[in-house]
Chains A and B, each alone.
Chain A
Amino acid sequence: MSGLLQDLRYALRQLRKNAGFTAVAVITLALGIGANTAIFTVVNALLLKMLPVKDPQRLVAVGDPNDVNGDSSGTPQTDIFSYPLYKELRDRNSVFSGLCAAASDHHIEVDTGEEQSANEKVTGRMASGNYFSVLGIEPAIGRLFSSSDDTDENANPVVVLGYDYWQRKFAGSPAVVGKNIRLNGFPFTVIGVGAPGFEGDVVGERMALFVPLSMQPEIIRGRHWRNSPHDSWLLLIGRLKPGISPVQAKANLNLVFQQALRGGYGATLTADDRRAIANGHITVSPGGGGLSELRGDYRTSLLLLMGIVGLVLLIACVNVANLLFARASRRNREIAIRLAIGANRGRLLRQLLSESILLALLGGVAGSLLAVSGVRLLVGMFGSGTVLPLAPDWRVFAFTTGVSLTTGILFGLFPALQTLRVHVSPALKDGARTTDERNSRFGLGKGLIAGQIALSLLVLFSASLLLRSLQNLMKQDFGYDRSRLVIARVDAVSAGYVGEKMKSLAEELVARLRNTPGVRAATYSKNGLFAGSESAEEIIVPGFNTDNARDRVSREDFVGPDYFRVVGMPIVAGRGIEVQDTETSARVAVVNEAMVKYFFAGKNPVGRQFTIDDPDWLDKPITVVGVSHDAKTNHLREQVKPRFYLPFQQVPDPYMIVLAAQVGGSPAGAVSNVLGQIKATAPSLPISFVDTLDQLVNDSAATPAAVAKLSGFLAGLALLLACVGLYGVMSYNIAGRTREVGVRMALGAQRSDVMGMVVREAMLLVIAGVFLGVPLALLGSRVLTSFLFGLKSTDPLSLIMVLVLLTLVAAFAGFIPARRAAKVDPMVALRYE
């Protein structure tokens, strides 16, 4: 132990003595370790952290844990659940000690009744009566839900507050228990506060409050989901009984599900619905980390970035190793003396290693500081208003420490061994007979540089593929002009607009919008463009036959008059939806080209008919009156699917309204006008968002954009580090060859000859690196395939661009020592050493 202390003290002295070396090494390591820590912090928060609940390892998520904020009406689902199906699973399974259900809503307006505090919109979780007991959460004060709090629709107006929200809004006052507050205007009684630290079971969303599922109609107005088998809105979390594995749980749940289909639950469904979900599989996955919409989105991206940032760290390690190599040769004499006076090599190795580990730990500390702002930057880049639990925990600490120690050994071991290989006798003599006996030390250093260049080539190539994919993604043809549109979504149902009332509201809104300054034309639809919703129907097309109902599904939208002209989707045959298509006129549809291809064998469908496979529609055949150009509607990567457009006014209950305004000038400037007009038309109408289509599209590309930009940044860092490495090795190499350069000049070399020689040597390393790096890059980039768009993972143009960039930057890095070499005074040749 005292030996170790002594080593550390000695190491510290060495590092202090070589302040310049130490600074460069620590900065290099801090960049590498900091970037790793930053990304790991996010990985940890999103993928690794456990919920602060009892025995989180025993929890499983039932259904698709990514679909936290999804809801679906119509055909029953098995990735999110209806309340009746949840009840079946909860009551009949034999694998859980408890199975709870929950759903989020982001727009609960809270009125605490206090005059001075304005109403506030918070995110709350609607949860089953056993929610807290299944998770094992204790109340901070008051009590939490029990099953008697979750009985009949609207029967239990009670609310549990989240600890943070209670602290923030009620200053942690215990008097809050028993207090009446209004949620979305409806009175609730506060019964208690959850345990500190618990903010719900959804990663990235902090729940301010919890209400029983039975209160859904007051939280999400205008909908009655509670007893409907057709409305799927719940995700489930189960606590496994002792000895039960998730696989067993899954088998049991699916068995219960099939039994339920054949029993009373199935009896509430139509034969079609039963058929549709008969093959549905309920999935069970680890749930201790909580549910998360983000996790599915970001997992692969984060892991990819983790990989890239790991490569950057490796490059940083090589740099520090090279610095140590350079220093090792300077310390030959010292080591030789130590060996000569009888130090043993093992002891010296420990001493040298403790120095490099100390360096790495310093780098780790500096890196952790960098990581703090790095994390902020990272989360900012990924956008989204989520609040991840980013506070570093033991895992982040262990990761950073582990990475630092590993890097310390990684970059320290070889130079240390190299140093110890010194032979005692020649190092103590001096007087070299030749200009310079270049030995394996240079060979190794240069080999490392070639490796480093190969790695940075891989990182650069990956980044260029990702960046060019992003470019392709954003520049692709959407099928309409997206630069002139402002999109708005309003929540008409919760404001009480249904059926006819909703249809006239839509007309009214559009009429107002048309007269708004800056707005050229306006229209409305159910789903619209990049507004985040989608709907589909099974249809029957005479002449199109298939056994499986799922094979005759088409997307749909309900659109107002003039829709195609306003959003700029070309009509390629027939006509669009017009004012003449009213509730009483003949049922008509416009279909897209994908639908023509799939359902009508590519033949002109104008004049042909199809029906929607739904009891309400079966007696209302729809006539195709036009064909629209294919258009991307929700995702940048989507393949355009078959879609038909019905007149909004011909649909009994269109369910939602999305407005689209075509503007003359800048769409961003028109956003507030549009917002103002909607408010003026219907003051009580909740507005989900008003934004330019461009912004919505950008938002939908936030993740690929963040990944591309971050990898671009990391590639820049990798390139910088590799070039600093190249520069360092060449400088060091040339500094040791002053005499050789002098001799060459004495023999008649021009300055340009000398510069050429050095640059050539540097470029030789680059070429060696490229030879290693190109196959590496082409192999490594295969990992990226699923991230790429519009190019292959072997894209030659990207590779050429990267090679040119790398060569130019490397040439510059080689040019500096070359210029220094050219300044050598040939007189050094005469000097006797």
Chain B
Amino acid sequence: MTETNQALIQITDMTKVFYTDEIETHALSGVHLSVNKGEYVAMSGPSGCGKSTLLSIIGLLDTPTAGRYFLNSKPVENLDFAERARIRNQEIGFIFQSFNLIGDLTVYENVELPLTYRQRMPSVEHKKRVMEALERVGMAHRLKHYPSQLSGGQQQRVAVARALAGHPSILLADEPTGNLDSRNGEAVMELLANLHKDGATICMVTHDPRFAKHAQREIHLFDGKVVAEEELKKLLQETSA
């Protein structure tokens, strides 16, 4: 009981089945996962094993087919769209592989975006939060720039600032370095590590074992299930053989 209360995310026996053209894809089959407050978790596994699917359910972009999901001790697996949007806005900060900054908004406006979907927040508060977040990622000097005027690394730092601006309970990142060269990738990883040091809870999907090492804990997914590291190696050897 106490354990459940401490856990920010508590997932039990979660499955996700996609139905397309009469083909069932079992993207997740019986996943158990709990992430505590302040934890930095990396998720890895071969392509198609369900990492993004799991992340999208954690981020309330999608709903599970079965299983339970408690976020901050509240069950969230069966909420409607509006309720999920509200929780996404307040509790979750997304960092995407393709940055997903909005092309015709300035850096400032991009970072402000999640705040604009929040009711009753005074604009002074907006400004304070945006500046805070941008300073945190070292991009405060580029307020009026458009995304197309920034380098890839800079864009991803702005995206991190956007995720931070809403003061979420957890940061979700799906291959945040996938679109960056190794130097810029390293910088973003460092940024995440620093955020973690300052108390942020992070859940990150990555292919790259070097980056996974930044995390406190690494979760291996294989064919829709969480597996131990050694087991994963064995399974991988079996499939490649």
List residues of chain A with CB under 8 Å of any chain B CB: 432-438, 739-740, 743-751, 753, 826-827, 829-830, 832-833
Contact = CB atoms under 8 A, between A and B. Distances in A.
Q: Which 3 A-B pairs have the closest CB atoms?
A: A748-B89, A434-B103, A748-B117
A438 B103 contact: yes
A830 B162 contact: no
A432 B86 CA distance: 29
Interface string B59-79: 101100000000000000000
Contacts of B103: 434-438, 740
A748 B52 contact: no
Contact of A748 (B99, B101, B166): B166
Interface of B: 52, 55-56, 59, 61-62, 81-82, 85-86, 88-90, 94, 96-104, 113-114, 117-118, 147-148, 152, 155, 162, 166, 174-175, 178-179
A444 B193 CA distance: 45
Of listed B85, B118, B178, B179, residue having the most chain A CB within 10 A: B85
A745 B82 CA distance: 10
30 contacts: A432-B98, A433-B147, A434-B99, A434-B101, A434-B103, A435-B103, A436-B104, A437-B104, A438-B103, A438-B104, A739-B100, A743-B96, A743-B102, A746-B88, A747-B88, A747-B89, A747-B94, A747-B162, A748-B88, A748-B118, A749-B85, A749-B89, A749-B117, A750-B82, A829-B61, A830-B52, A830-B96, A832-B97, A832-B175, A833-B98
Given A739-B100, A830-B55, A434 B117 contact: no
A438 B147 CA distance: 12
Contacts of A751: 81-82, 85
B98 A750 contact: no
B126 to A, nearest CB: 14
B113 A747 contact: yes
Nearest to B174: A830
A284 to B, nearest CB: 66
Contacts of B117: 744, 747-750, 753
A435 B146 CA distance: 12
Contacts of B52: 830
Interface of A is mostly: loop
Given A435-B100, A748-B86, A833-B98, 12 more contacts: A433-B147, A433-B148, A434-B102, A434-B147, A434-B148, A435-B101, A436-B103, A437-B104, A437-B148, A438-B103, A750-B86, A827-B61
A746 B84 CA distance: 10
A827 B96 CA distance: 11
A827 B62 contact: yes
B149 to A, nearest CB: 10
Given A437-B148, A827-B56, A748 B98 contact: no
Contact of A832 (B61, B94, B162, B178): B178
Contacts of B148: 433-434, 437
A435 B159 CA distance: 12
A2 B102 CA distance: 48
Contacts of B61: 746, 826-827, 829-830
Contacts of B81: 751
B116 to A, nearest CB: 8
A744 B94 CA distance: 11
A827 B114 CA distance: 17
Contact of A746 (B94, B104, B147, B175): B94
Contacts of B98: 432-433, 832-833
Given A743-B100, A748-B88, A434 B82 contact: no
A830 B56 contact: yes
Contacts of A748: 85-86, 88-90, 114, 117-118, 166
A384 to B, nearest CB: 58
A739 B98 CA distance: 11
Contacts of B101: 434-435
Given A434-B102, A434-B147, A434-B148, A829 B113 contact: no
B171 to A, nearest CB: 13
B15 to A, nearest CB: 17
Nearest to B163: A747
Nearest to A750: B85
Contacts of A833: 98
A433 B179 contact: yes
B85 A745 contact: yes
A427 to B, nearest CB: 15
A106 B221 CA distance: 98
Nearest to A748: B89
Contact of B94 (A435, A750, A829): A829
- Could you say which of A746, A749, A751 has the most chain B C-beta atoms within 10 Å of its C-beta? A746
A626 B5 CA distance: 104
Nearest to B118: A748
Nearest to B90: A748
Contacts of A827: 56, 61-62
Contacts of A432: 98
A226 to B, nearest CB: 84
A743 B152 CA distance: 18
Contacts of B82: 750-751
Nearest to A822: B81
A373 to B, nearest CB: 47
B65 to A, nearest CB: 15
A435 B85 contact: no
A140 B62 CA distance: 88
A814 B59 CA distance: 31
B152 A433 contact: yes
A832 B180 CA distance: 13
A819 to B, nearest CB: 14
A832 B96 CA distance: 9
A742 to B, nearest CB: 8
A62 B138 CA distance: 90
Contacts of B62: 827
